[in-house]
Amino acid sequence: MPDITVTLPDGSAKSVPAGSSVRDVAFAISPRLAAAAIAGKMDGVLVDIDRAVHEGVSVEILTDRSPEALHVLRHSAAHVMAEAVKDLFPTARFGIGPSIEDGFYYDFDVDTPFSPEDVAAIEERMREIVAEAKTFSRGELDRLEASDAFDGQPLKQELIAELPEGETISIYAQGNFTDLCRGPHVPDTSCIKAFKLMKVAGAYWRGDSTRPMLQRIYGTAWFSAKDLDAYVTRLEEAEKRDHRKLGRELDLFSFHEEAGAGLPLYHPKGARVLRLLQEWLRGVLYERGYVEVITPHIYKADVWKISGHYENYRDNMYFFEIDEGDGRVNEYGIKPMNCPGHLMIYGDSMKSYRDLPIRMSEFGTVYRHEMSGVVHGLMRARSFTQDDAHIFCTPEQVHAEVMGMLDLVAYVNGVFGFEYSAEVSTRPEKSIGGDEFWENATQSLFKALDEKGVAYEINEGDGAFYGPKIDIKLRDAIGRTWQTSTIQVDYNMPQRFGLTYRTADNSEAQPYMLHRTIVGSMERFFGILIEHYAGAFPTWLAPVQAVIIPISDRHLEYAETVCGELAADGVRVEVYRENEPMRIKIAKAQQQKVPFMLVVGDKEAEGHLVAVRERTQGDIGQRTLEELVELVRAGRPA
């Protein structure tokens, strides 16, 4: 049998016998690589290690060090969990079981919800399956064969019925379990060395609240017990830092069932932090040539029809009707985005090319119809405020404006010590605008990121309906990633609102519009900061920067004097007036994560001093009030 030639990632060629598999290519490179191989890529597509290669194909071997390897491992673990459920609960109906960030899940339709004891039994059966080193085998069926193979599995039958006519359907089997699956999988179950089932939750079939509620078992899988232990430790740390828990303890905000899910109520301390953030960001924007506007929370539906939201985003909006009192009843929509108002402000007067770019900003509160199952504290709310801005510019100015936004992203994330990367989302299936705009706009984003040296990935088909976008993902103190900033290029919205500007040759042209946020949702960013700092905000952002602790009641008068003087110098300060022992007051200040505790007694009153305790360093000695003010101001962003 003649040899065929395949291409390796470094561009070199490798000859292997016709009929060889990805594993054979790995062996031809190195027997050690073949032993470590868990899957492969053919022309960039993930495949099983035993998939046959063909002439001219590019081949990449995946090991446990490859970026995609955990996805393959976790998807395989989901199949092992499904086999364990089938063994223990033979009448279960099976949904889907994908890998997700940090783990996997599988949805089951069972007669009785899983108990903790059931989950423990499933995990134990999984360990037995792993020990048996069962091979993952791929097969192909036509629609009729697939329907017969999954007789008695209504959820699978529904998925099969939706597949295109004539499409070959791939299945995977291990042990006595067979599933619809595109793959790939690890070679056998023994590769799944470190896993743990985490929790059970209810989940509507296909996310539709009108469909059956299924039992979703979440798990995690890693290539080593060390990695699994590190992940569990991270989860424990994340639980301690949970912004919902700290929000209660630090009296920052609350949620109330009577008010509705995803609608936070900010207490004085939480409102103070949010306002401090906004005031700081507002100053940064003014320095960079932005102007601020304020727009309404509702518009007539006509506006949303012009913008395209009515057609493309209606399911995420809240609509209602108003009787205008003159026989007309108009439909109104609560804004999910701020852009229409900014477009109308731009269009209120004729603009010249000399006026551009116009950088229009707003801390605008928006409302989105999120399903109750995905609402999560401040991280995903139904009401939130965006540090929103829209830049109206000429086509020639787009690149410089995107570069300026990336500079702003770097500055803001640098203040908080966040490392970050980017993701470029391209044209979705449901979109508006011509091919030329989409291509040019997408390439402009790639070019800006390349010039700034920002690492990025491509998220195919996940752009906004009106244009491609850059999403910034920052990494917090315990290694989690959060999506915050977004930069979007839009030629369609100005067109829909009929916006123009007068060019140098006195003709009219249409501006480009750049949508951007830097911290994104203020609520979400607030939640991220709470968890990033474990509630111990940097001094410049702390709602209370210092508390004054009188040693006894006779020192209360001096404490009040100190409070007044520090407040006059801009320090956010409180006096602990309660008749409690000093150690209790210090413990309370520590629990509230106040940066400075100022103890005052006879010596301090005589010398007009304060004895300073810093929340992490402890006692740092006596200071004058002027020195204390300098300590508080240190670290404030430039």
**Does 270 reside within a domain?**
no
130 and 49 in a single domain? The answer is: no
Q: Nearest 5°: CA angle at 303, between 297 and 304?
A: 85
235 by DSSP, 3-state: which?
Answer: helix
Res 312: pLDDT: 83
Which CATH number fits the domain that encloses residue 339? Answer: 3.30.930.10
Please pick, among 41, 156, 216, 515, the residue that the annotation labels catalytic.
515
**Is 388 known to be catalytic?**
yes
Q: Note if the bond before 164 is cis, omega within 30 degrees.
A: no
Please check whether residue 385 lies inside any domain of the structure.
yes
Q: Are residues 32 and 86 in the same domain?
A: no
The reply to whether 608 belongs to the active site is no
pLDDT band at 486 (very low <50, low <70, confident <90, very high): very high
Let me know whether 570 and 441 are in one domain: no
**Sole residue written with tokens 């044209």:** 427
- The yes-or-no answer on residue 495 being catalytic is no
Query: Does 563 qualify as catalytic in the annotation?
Result: no
Res 430: pLDDT: 80
Same domain, 309 and 438: yes
Q: Measuring CA to CA, which residue among 274, 238, 267, 237 is closest to residue 251?
A: 267
pLDDT mean over 416-436: 89
**Residues with Cβ within 8 Å of residue 539, at least 6 apart in sequence:** 545, 595, 596, 631, 632, 634, 635, 636
Instruction: Give me the numbers of helices (H) and strands (E) for the chain, helices first please.
Output: 20, 33
Cβ count near 616 (within 10 Å): 8
pLDDT digits (tens, 9 = 90+) for 361-413: 999 999 999 887 788 999 999 999 999 999 999 989 999 999 999 999 999 99
Question: What confidence tier does 562 reach under pLDDT thresholds 50, 70, 90?
Answer: very high
Residue of 107, 269, 335, 339 marked catalytic: 339
- Predicted pLDDT of residue 525: 96
Task: Return the percent helix, strand and coil in the chain, to nearest 5.
Answer: 40, 30, 35
Which of left, alpha, beta for 620 (phi over 0: left; psi -120 to 50: alpha)? alpha
- CATH code, domain with 47: 3.10.20.30
Phi (first) and psi of residue 86, to 5 degrees: -60, -40
My answer on whether 611 and 477 are in the same domain is no
Q: Which of 75, 185, 469, 593 is catalytic?
A: 469
Please pick, among 368, 516, 572, 623, the residue that the annotation labels catalytic: 368
- pTM higher than 0.75: yes
Which of the listed residues 37, 62, 87 is the one where a domain comes to its end? Answer: 62
Judgement on whether residues 374 and 473 belong to the same structural domain of the protein: yes
Altogether, the residues listed in the chain come to a count of 638
* 306 plus 347 within the same structural domain: yes
From the candidates 153, 174, 386, 397, give the one annotated as an active-site residue: 386
The predicted-structure confidence for 570-628, as pLDDT tens digits, reads as follows 999 999 999 889 899 999 999 999 999 999 999 999 999 999 999 999 999 999 999 99
How far is it, in rounded angstroms, from Cα 284 to Cα 78?
Answer: 47
pLDDT level of residue 120 (50, 70, 90 thresholds): very high
- Say how many domains are in the chain: 4
Q: Band of the pLDDT at 451, cuts 50, 70, 90? A: very high
In this structure, the number of other CB atoms found within 10 A of the CB of residue 513 comes to 28
Preceding peptide of 184 cis, ω within 30° = yes
Helix axes 522-532, 268-287, angle to 10 degrees: 110
Query: Which residue, among 326, 317, 278, has the nearest Cα to 298 in the 3D structure?
Result: 317
Long-range contacts of 447-454 (CB under 8 A, 24+ apart): 447/399, 448/399, 448/402, 448/403, 448/406, 449/406, 449/422, 449/424, 451/403, 452/403, 452/406, 452/407, 452/410, 454/406, 454/420, 454/421, 454/422
Q: What is the pLDDT of residue 1?
A: 56
What percent of the chain shows pLDDT beyond 90?
86
Give the chain's mean pLDDT: 94
Q: Compute CA distances 201 → 198, 386, 409, whole Å.
A: 10, 31, 36
Assess contact for 487 and 445: CB atoms under 8 A.
Answer: yes
Identify the active-site residue in 185, 382, 390, 585.
390
- Quick one: pLDDT band at residue 479, thresholds 50, 70, 90? confident
Task: Give how far Cα 404 sits from Cα of 277, 293, 353, 399, 467, Å.
Answer: 20, 20, 19, 9, 19
Is 60 exceeded by the pLDDT of residue 461?
yes
Residues 305 and 407 in one domain: yes
Q: Is residue 205 part of a domain?
A: yes
Residue 488 in any domain: the answer is: yes
Q: What is the pLDDT of residue 466?
A: 78
Residue 181 annotated as catalytic: no
Q: Which of 578, 577, 620 is CA-nearest to residue 595?
A: 620
Whole-angstrom distance, CA of residue 534 vs CA of residue 477: 9
386 an active-site residue?
A: yes
- Residue 165: predicted pLDDT: 83
Band of pLDDT at residue 207, cut at 50, 70 and 90: confident
Same domain assignment for residues 382 and 446 = yes
- Parallel, antiparallel, or unpaired for β 213-222 and 103-109? antiparallel
pLDDT tens-digit profile of 95-112?
999 999 899 999 999 999
Phi-psi region of 608 (alpha: psi -120 to 50; beta: other; left: phi over 0): left
150 & 201 share domain: yes
In a domain, 218, yes or no: yes
Q: How far apart are CA 69 and CA 63, in angstroms?
A: 7
Point out the domain boundary residue: 212, 229, 246: 229
Using CB atoms within 10 A of its CB, is residue 415 exposed (0-12), middle (13-18) or buried (19+)? middle
Q: What is the span of the domain harbouring residue 606?
A: 539-633
Residues 85 and 43 reside in one and the same domain: no
Which one is catalytic: 48, 107, 388, 476?
388
Higher pLDDT, 472 or 436: 472
**Would residue 393 show up in a list of annotated catalytic residues for this protein?**
no
Quick one: pLDDT at residue 168? 87
Decide: 387 and 519 in contact? Cβ < 8 Å. yes
CA 214 to CA 216: how far, in whole Å? 6
Residue 550 lies in a domain: yes
**The CATH number of the domain where 564 resides is what?**
3.40.50.800
> What does the pLDDT look like over 360-372, one tens digit per residue?
999 999 999 988 7
**How far is the CA of 47 from the CAs of 23, 68, 246, 455, 468, in angstroms?**
11, 11, 45, 26, 29
Distance CA 373, CA 375 (A): 6
Is there a single domain that holds both residue 143 and residue 166?
A: yes
DSSP per residue, 585-618? HHHHHHHTT-SEEEEE-HHHHHHTEEEEEETTTE
Residue 349 lies in a domain: yes
Arithmetic mean of pLDDT, 171-188: 95
Where residue 280 falls among pLDDT bands split at 50, 70, 90?
very high
Q: Establish if 258 belongs to a structural domain.
A: no
